[in-house]
């Protein structure tokens, strides 16, 4: 995976994870164009589109679009599963997650993503293990804060 | 007094509470100032909170570079909270283009070697996200050590970090290859997945690694088999499929290992067949695995039966109700159509059905695949389907569809007549979308099919009479009429309906094309030449043609002017040679044994015969006057906004500048006005040929005084119903010139009026060349047209001003 973007129906960015080195300017340009392209898609259209030399896989969950850019040899259908798994993890962690949770706890959204994907690849296929890792890290954070 | 800093969530609320962009900017700027101050003062306790806030505003698009150093400080801190936010900041703010990024290398090194797995995890995560080549080189051995760490949590992250390092610094492969053997024996799914990914990466970069890992095919097969048959672990399953992520990754590795290698391919054959037949396809997870399996089967040296099975699975995917599945099926079939053509052919009917998909990404794929599936046995049926598609498909697919059809027609046309018909139909339906050489190709094709001349000219005449706006069709039709016009009024053609055509009708049609504002300069060229050729084919006299040719001798368009002058010369000085020069072109034989065979086998026969034709035309022009001139015999359809209007200008004696038709269209320094109808034809319009051209509107004489006459002529272009074009023509039969002529017009408020620059401001005496001016009127409400004209000019030494309303405007101008 080259990058993952989460954005609202109004095009506001809620999360951006880049797995390739790009300048801030390029990231902004890509984000703007891609958001525009995806938002222009009609609801019944398929989840895949070609954009520049990448394959884009996107899915809308309530008011949030989850959008991944994968390479030519990557499997689109499994990418849909990756997106779905991430949403499930967020849902389990926040308890019926909604967009507001991700807005107000964006760092947590990043931490959870970083326990699921690493360097653009899936690192852990067990939901349980991912959530356990987050739990432990949160605990560690608690402890060190209390002792600060 | 130091105010306590805002909590992250409070800041977010404040920002969201802002009603306008300006307000938001204000809140953020204020807070950033606080954050900056806090960084300067170095408050270690709240640093993590300040950075978190900064990261939030960074996501909104505001600058956050002043937080980079703070990331370093936080990472170096001993508190986990600090590290967590610090590393996140590093991943968001410090990419390898920043010089500062190298400064975290040391911290990462330290964090990797101290014992807390969560901290090691943070370091590895950051390294694998933004680690530059330099960092990777420095830290490779540390990561290697972590591959042997007791904690599986750390091991799994280390493996994927190794993947990233190899991508950045391929030479590091030598470090990470040896551990793979051991890692592949792991039971932990995460580590296994990472290892398979690592091996894939190694094999893709080095043939030596590929050879080495081929030995592991049996082991990989075993792992996959276990997953598929026995390993139902609730923890790793999705919709009953055991760890589809791992399955897909293994299948991908097997694909790379089995490619071009019989032994490995054999070893995986059975397993692939098993997965292909047993995977549950009711949910996406199963289909994802199945899809990867199919891709692997098609890429390795698999048994024929297995390949057919794989293609059939894709065929089944095409019928799946899930659009996404249909999409991947179409994409994959497209990849396979070359290597497994007959297998894919079996699914042709389904593919053709997919052309009807409302989703543009799918219909585009279906189009590409359909075109790839056309062969000599299905060409008629397929062309039928494709032409139906062309008439209704979205505009951005039209160009590809049209050129695809033309190419396929070239390769597989069963006979010439069908070929000509097909090209004609495509030009009529989508003329603006075809490539420039389609016109040339069709002309050459018609020219070469002698038995079809009568048929072609009749069909093209009918098409032209219906609509003169589709430029490619018009060009071909005028050429044809020029060449074979005599076949229109002589003889009959059994292949088409009987058509009674008078010579005068044909001349009128060609003149219409010549004068129309819709015609491109190139098209006008065709029309003029066609008229000229007809001068030898008419049974009656040539006066009409001679008149037209002489008028165009002073045309503003350089190309037309040149032609007209030369043709004029033909009439006057070289009349004895005229018949010979304008004789019918000989049938062009393509270089090769038989024309039909060549046309079927490859399209290459087509361009070479056009050269003898081109050289003949060059000879024609050489004969007329020594200069070769700008011979644009089959000119491209390149739009040039300035060329589109032909003004019959009172041309002064000095010759116009060469190849300056653009400047010539702007007389007397008038500013260039926006694009005229000539180019409008080339913009994709939805209303194509379907509505026939209405009958021409009669001209109207609106003013007469002392020999000066003003005439109005009207055109309503079919594809823009609200547009009316009025040409004001001023002629002068008196003995004195009319000078400083200015014509202004006024229309009711609901109309939009645009005056183009006039051809000049002098109407010379004694029936000299008229002055023309174009008025463009937009009447979207179809309100009754009213027009007032104001004329000012000098005649016989007196200045005249006339204001009047135009009466008796024909109803067709606005209805």
Cross-chain residue pair B284–A81, CB shorter than 8 Å: yes
Chain A: closest CA distance from residue B371 (Å):
20
Enumerate residues 114 to 133 of chain B having a beta carbon within 8 A of any beta carbon in chain A: 116, 118, 121, 124-125, 128-130, 132
Could you tell me which of B504, B528, B501 has the C-alpha nearest to residue B514? B528
Identify the band that residue B626 occupies on the pLDDT scale cut at 50, 70 and 90. very low
How high is the pLDDT of residue B656? 37
Structure tokens, B223: 């792992």
Structure tokens, B758: 């006039």
How high is the pLDDT of residue B496? 63
Query: Per-residue pLDDT tens for B344-355?
Result: 999 999 999 888
Question: Which residues does B243 contact at the CB level (< 8 Å), separation at least 6?
Answer: A125, B189, B227, B231, B233, B236, B237
Enumerate residues 69 to 108 of chain A having a beta carbon within 8 A of any beta carbon in chain B: 73, 75-78, 80-82, 85, 103-104, 106-107
Identify the band that residue B689 occupies on the pLDDT scale cut at 50, 70 and 90. very low
Cross-chain residue pair A21–B95, CB shorter than 8 Å: yes
Tell me whether A29 touches chain B (CB under 8 Å).
no
Identify the band that residue B200 occupies on the pLDDT scale cut at 50, 70 and 90. very high
Chain A: closest CA distance from residue B362 (Å):
8
- Largest Cα span, chain A: 53
Cross-chain residue pair A126–B157, CB shorter than 8 Å: no
Identify the band that residue B494 occupies on the pLDDT scale cut at 50, 70 and 90. low
Tell me whether B187 touches chain A (CB under 8 Å).
no
Q: In chain A, what residues touch B129 (CB-CB under 8 Å)?
A: 17-19, 118-119
Tell me whether B243 touches chain A (CB under 8 Å).
yes
Residue B127 has pLDDT above 90, yes or no: yes
Tell me whether A20 touches chain B (CB under 8 Å).
no
Cross-chain residue pair A125–B193, CB shorter than 8 Å: yes
- SS3 call for B351: helix
Residue B3 has pLDDT above 90, yes or no: no
Tell me whether B671 touches chain A (CB under 8 Å).
no
Does the pTM exceed 0.90? no
Which segment of B393-397, B406-410, B640-644 scores lowest on mean pLDDT? B640-644
How high is the pLDDT of residue A147? 57
Is residue B603 exposed (0-12), middle (13-18) or buried (19+ Cβ within 10 Å)?
middle
Closest chain A residue to the Cα of B162, Cα to Cα: A119
How high is the pLDDT of residue B694? 55
Cross-chain residue pair A126–B193, CB shorter than 8 Å: no
Tell me whether A40 touches chain B (CB under 8 Å).
no
Tell me whether B189 touches chain A (CB under 8 Å).
yes
Structure tokens, B471: 């430029």
* Averaged pLDDT for residues B498-518: 81
Could you tell me which of B420, B414, B411 has the C-alpha nearest to residue B441? B420
Q: How far is it, in rounded angstroms, from Cα A127 to Cα A116? A: 9
Q: Judge contact between B331 and B361, C-beta under 8 A.
A: no
Tell me whether B164 touches chain A (CB under 8 Å).
yes
Cross-chain residue pair A81–B235, CB shorter than 8 Å: no
How high is the pLDDT of residue B646? 28
Question: Which residues does B76 contact at the CB level (< 8 Å), separation at least 6?
Answer: B86, B107
Residue B459 has pLDDT above 70, yes or no: yes
Q: How far is it, in rounded angstroms, from Cα B606 to Cα B590? A: 7
Which of the pair, B465 or B286, is modelled with greater confidence? Answer: B286
Identify the band that residue A146 occupies on the pLDDT scale cut at 50, 70 and 90. low
Cross-chain residue pair B80–A16, CB shorter than 8 Å: no
Q: How far is it, in rounded angstroms, from Cα B148 to Cα B144? A: 8
Q: How far is it, in rounded angstroms, from Cα B28 to Cα B16? A: 11
Which segment of B34-38, B147-151, B340-344 scores lowest on mean pLDDT? B340-344
Taking each helix axis from N to C end, the angle separating B189-205 and B244-258, rounded to the nearest 10 degrees, works out to: 20
Tell me whether A22 touches chain B (CB under 8 Å).
yes
Cross-chain residue pair A118–B79, CB shorter than 8 Å: no
Q: In chain A, what residues touch B361 (CB-CB under 8 Å)?
A: 45-46, 48-50
Cross-chain residue pair B238–A126, CB shorter than 8 Å: no
Which of the pair, B672 or B718, is modelled with greater confidence? Answer: B718
Cross-chain residue pair B194–A148, CB shorter than 8 Å: no
Tell me whether B96 touches chain A (CB under 8 Å).
yes
* Averaged pLDDT for residues B216-230: 91
How high is the pLDDT of residue B588? 61
Q: How far is it, in rounded angstroms, from Cα A4 to Cα A15? A: 8
* Averaged pLDDT for residues B478-498: 75
Q: How far is it, in rounded angstroms, from Cα B364 to Cα B370? A: 10
Question: Which residues does B232 contact at the CB level (< 8 Å), separation at least 6?
Answer: B240, B242
Tell me whether B327 touches chain A (CB under 8 Å).
yes
Cross-chain residue pair A22–B95, CB shorter than 8 Å: yes
Cross-chain residue pair A103–B292, CB shorter than 8 Å: no
**In this structure, what is the dihedral angle of CA atoms A76, A79, A81, A87, given to the nearest 10 degrees?**
-140
How high is the pLDDT of residue B232? 66
How high is the pLDDT of residue B609? 38
How high is the pLDDT of residue B782? 82
Q: Judge contact between B706 and B798, C-beta under 8 A.
A: no
Dump the DSSP string for A45-89.
S-SEEEETTEEEEEEEETTEEEEEEE-TTS-HHHHHHHHHHHHHH
Which of A77, A123, A148 faces B194 most closely, judged by CB atoms?
A123
Residue B684 has pLDDT above 90, yes or no: no
Q: How far is it, in rounded angstroms, from Cα B501 to Cα B42? A: 95
Which of A16, A19, A46 faces B362 most closely, judged by CB atoms?
A46
Compute CA distances A44 → A50, B402, B412, whole Å.
17, 27, 37
Q: Which helix (H) or strand (E) holds B181?
A: helix B179-183
Q: Which of A35, A37, A46 to mutate to test the interface with B (most CBs of B within 10 A)?
A: A46
Which segment of B364-368, B495-499, B599-603 scores lowest on mean pLDDT? B599-603
Q: In chain B, what residues touch A8 (CB-CB under 8 Å)?
A: none
pLDDT, mean over chain A:
93
How high is the pLDDT of residue B695? 63
Residue B644 has pLDDT above 80, yes or no: no
Identify the band that residue B600 occupies on the pLDDT scale cut at 50, 70 and 90. very low
Cross-chain residue pair B197–A121, CB shorter than 8 Å: yes
Which of the pair, B491 or A19, is modelled with greater confidence? Answer: A19
- DSSP letter at B469 equals -
Which of the pair, B269 or B586, is modelled with greater confidence? Answer: B269
Chain A: closest CA distance from residue B439 (Å):
32
Identify the band that residue B664 occupies on the pLDDT scale cut at 50, 70 and 90. very low
How high is the pLDDT of residue B589? 56
How high is the pLDDT of residue B655? 38
Residue B633 has pLDDT above 90, yes or no: no
What are the sequence ranges of the domains in chain A? 3-147
- Counting Cα atoms < 13 Å in the Cβ hemisphere of B180 gives 29
Q: How far is it, in rounded angstroms, from Cα A123 to Cα B159? A: 9
Question: Which residues does B787 contact at the CB level (< 8 Å), separation at least 6?
Answer: B726, B745, B746, B747, B805, B806, B809
Tell me whether B99 touches chain A (CB under 8 Å).
no
Q: Phi and psi (nearest 5°) for B703?
A: -155, 140
Q: Which helix (H) or strand (E) holds A4?
A: strand A3-8
Q: In chain B, what residues touch A77 (CB-CB under 8 Å)?
A: 284, 287-288, 291, 324-325, 328
Structure tokens, B50: 């300040």
Identify the band that residue B587 occupies on the pLDDT scale cut at 50, 70 and 90. low
Closest chain A residue to the Cα of B159, Cα to Cα: A123
Which segment of A3-12, B664-673, B787-796 scores lowest on mean pLDDT? B664-673
Our CA angle for B600, B463, B501, nearest 5°, is 115
Q: Which of A118, A120, A126, A131 to mutate to test the interface with B (most CBs of B within 10 A)?
A: A118
The most confident of the ranges B225-239, B298-312, B449-463, B537-551 is B298-312
Enumerate residues 707 to 746 of chain B having a beta carbon within 8 A of any beta carbon in chain A: none
H-only helix segments in B374-470 = 379-392, 395-412, 416-430, 437-448, 453-466
Which of B96, B243, B328 faces A76 most closely, judged by CB atoms?
B328
Percent of chain B with pLDDT over 70: 85
How high is the pLDDT of residue A88? 95
Residue B706 has pLDDT above 50, yes or no: yes
Which of A49, A78, A129 faces B245 most closely, judged by CB atoms?
A78
Identify the band that residue A78 occupies on the pLDDT scale cut at 50, 70 and 90. very high
Q: Which helix (H) or strand (E) holds B713?
A: strand B708-715
pLDDT, mean over chain B:
81
Cross-chain residue pair A107–B52, CB shorter than 8 Å: yes
Q: In chain B, what residues touch A47 (CB-CB under 8 Å)?
A: 323-324
Chain A: closest CA distance from residue B711 (Å):
51
Which segment of B198-207, B407-416, B445-454 scores lowest on mean pLDDT? B445-454
Query: Per-residue pLDDT tens for B4-38?
Result: 778 899 999 989 998 999 999 999 999 999 999 99
Rg (CA), chain A: 16
The most confident of the ranges A114-118, B8-12, B625-629, B772-776 is A114-118
Q: In chain A, what residues touch B169 (CB-CB under 8 Å)?
A: none
How high is the pLDDT of residue B662? 36
* Averaged pLDDT for residues A70-89: 95
How high is the pLDDT of residue B616? 42
Chain A: closest CA distance from residue B218 (Å):
23
Which of B81, B244, B323 faces A141 most closely, judged by CB atoms?
B81
Inter-chain contacts counted by CB atoms under 8 A, chains A and B: 160
CATH number listed for the domain at residues A3-147: 3.30.450.60
Q: How far is it, in rounded angstroms, from Cα A56 to Cα A34? A: 9
- Counting Cα atoms < 13 Å in the Cβ hemisphere of B371 gives 21
């Amino acid at each position: 995976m080259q990058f993952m973007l989460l954005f609202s129906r109004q095009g506001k960015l809620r999360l951006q994870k880049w797995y390739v080195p790009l300048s801030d300017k390029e990231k902004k340009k890509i984000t703007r164009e891609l958001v525009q392209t995806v938002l222009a898609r009609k609801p019944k259209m398929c989840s895949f589109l070609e954009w520049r030399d990448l394959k884009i896989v996107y899915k809308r969950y309530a008011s949030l679009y989850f959008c991944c850019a994968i390479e030519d040899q990557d499997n689109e259908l499994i990418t849909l599963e990756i997106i779905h798994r991430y949403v499930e993890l967020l849902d389990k962690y926040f308890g019926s997650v909604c967009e507001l949770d991700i807005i107000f706890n964006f760092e947590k959204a990043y931490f959870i993503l970083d326990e699921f994907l690493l360097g653009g690849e899936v690192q852990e296929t067990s939901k349980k293990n991912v959530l356990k890792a987050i739990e432990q890290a949160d605990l560690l954070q608690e402890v060190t804060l209390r002792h600060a | 007094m130091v105010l306590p800093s805002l909590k992250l969530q409070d800041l977010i609320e404040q920002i969201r509470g802002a009603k306008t962009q300006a307000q938001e900017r204000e809140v953020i700027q204020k807070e950033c100032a606080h954050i900056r101050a806090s960084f300067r003062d170095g408050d270690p306790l709240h640093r993590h909170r300040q950075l978190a806030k900064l990261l939030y505003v960074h996501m909104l698009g505001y600058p956050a570079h002043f937080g980079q150093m703070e990331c370093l400080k936080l990472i170096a801190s001993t508190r986990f909270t600090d590290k967590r936010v610090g590393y996140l900041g590093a991943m968001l703010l410090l990419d390898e283009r920043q010089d500062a990024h190298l400064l975290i290398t040391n911290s990462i090194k330290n964090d990797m070697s101290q014992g807390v797995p969560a901290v090691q995890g943070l370091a590895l995560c950051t390294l694998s996200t933004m680690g530059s080549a330099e960092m990777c080189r420095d830290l490779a051995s540390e990561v290697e050590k972590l591959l042997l760490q007791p904690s599986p949590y750390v091991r799994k992250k280390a493996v994927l970090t190794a993947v990233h390092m190899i991508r950045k610094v391929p030479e590091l492969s030598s470090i990470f290859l040896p551990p793979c053997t051991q890692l592949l024996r792991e039971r932990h799914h995460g580590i296994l997945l990472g290892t398979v990914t690592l091996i894939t990466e190694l094999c893709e970069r080095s043939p030596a690694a590929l050879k080495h890992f081929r030995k592991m095919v049996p082991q990989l097969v075993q792992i996959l088999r276990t997953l598929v048959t026995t390993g139902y672990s609730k923890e790793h399953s999705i919709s009953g499929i055991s760890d589809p992520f791992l399955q897909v990754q293994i299948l991908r590795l097997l694909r790379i290992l089995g490619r071009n290698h019989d032994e490995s391919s054999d070893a995986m054959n059975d397993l692939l067949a098993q997965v292909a037949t047993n995977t549950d396809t009711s949910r996406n997870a199963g289909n994802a695995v199945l899809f990867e399996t199919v891709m692997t089967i098609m890429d390795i040296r698999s048994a024929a039966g297995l390949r057919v099975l794989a293609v059939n699975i894709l065929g089944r995917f095409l019928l799946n109700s899930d659009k996404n599945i249909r999409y991947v099926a179409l994409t994959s079939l497209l990849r396979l159509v070359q290597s497994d053509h007959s297998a894919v052919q079996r699914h042709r009917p389904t593919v053709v059905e997919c052309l009807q998909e409302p989703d543009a990404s799918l219909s585009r794929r279906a189009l590409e695949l359909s075109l790839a599936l056309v062969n000599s046995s299905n060409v008629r049926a397929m062309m039928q389907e494709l032409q139906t598609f062309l008439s209704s498909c979205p505009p951005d697919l039209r160009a590809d569809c049209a050129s695809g059809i033309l190419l396929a027609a070239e390769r597989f046309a069963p006979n010439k007549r069908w070929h000509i018909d097909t090209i004609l139909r495509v030009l009529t339906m989508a003329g603006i979308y075809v490539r420039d050489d389609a016109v040339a190709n069709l002309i050459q094709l018609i020219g070469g099919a002698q038995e079809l001349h009568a048929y072609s000219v009749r069909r093209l005449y009918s098409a032209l009479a219906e609509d003169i706006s589709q430029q490619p069709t018009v060009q071909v039709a005028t050429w044809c009429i020029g060449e074979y016009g005599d076949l229109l009024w002589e003889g009959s053609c059994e292949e088409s309906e009987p058509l009674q055509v008078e010579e005068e009708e044909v001349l009128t049609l060609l003149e219409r094309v010549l004068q129309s504002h819709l015609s491109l300069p190139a098209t006008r060229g065709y029309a003029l030449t066609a008229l000229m050729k007809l001068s030898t084919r008419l049974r009656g006299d040539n006066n009409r043609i001679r008149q037209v040719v002489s008028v165009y001798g002073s045309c503003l368009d350089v190309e037309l002017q040149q032609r007209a002058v030369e043709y004029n010369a033909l009439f006057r000085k070289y009349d004895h040679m005229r018949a010979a020069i304008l004789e019918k072109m000989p049938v062009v034989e393509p270089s090769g044994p038989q024309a039909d065979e060549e046309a079927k086998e490859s399209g290459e026969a087509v361009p070479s015969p056009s050269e003898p034709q081109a050289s003949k035309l060059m000879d024609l022009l050489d004969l007329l006057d020594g200069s070769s001139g700008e011979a644009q015999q089959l000119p491209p359809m390149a739009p040039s906004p300035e060329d589109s209007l032909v003004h019959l200008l009172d041309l002064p004696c000095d010759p116009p500048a060469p190849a300056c038709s653009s400047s010539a269209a702007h007389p007397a320094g008038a500013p260039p006005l926006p694009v005229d109808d000539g180019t409008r034809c080339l913009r994709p319009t939805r209303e194509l040929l379907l509505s026939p051209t209405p009958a021409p509107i009669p001209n109207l004489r609106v003013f007469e005084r002392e020999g000066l006459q003003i005439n109005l002529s009207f055109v309503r272009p079919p594809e823009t119903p609200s547009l009316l074009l009025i040409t004001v023509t001023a002629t002068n039969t008196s003995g004195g010139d009319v000078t400083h002529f200015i014509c202004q017009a006024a229309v009711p408020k609901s109309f939009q009026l645009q005056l183009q620059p006039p051809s000049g401001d002098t109407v010379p005496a004694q029936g000299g060349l008229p002055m023309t001016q174009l008025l463009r009127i937009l009447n979207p409400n179809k309100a009754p047209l009213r027009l007032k004209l104001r004329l000012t000019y000098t005649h016989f030494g007196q200045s005249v001003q006339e204001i009047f309303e135009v009466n008796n405007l024909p109803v067709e101008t606005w209805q």
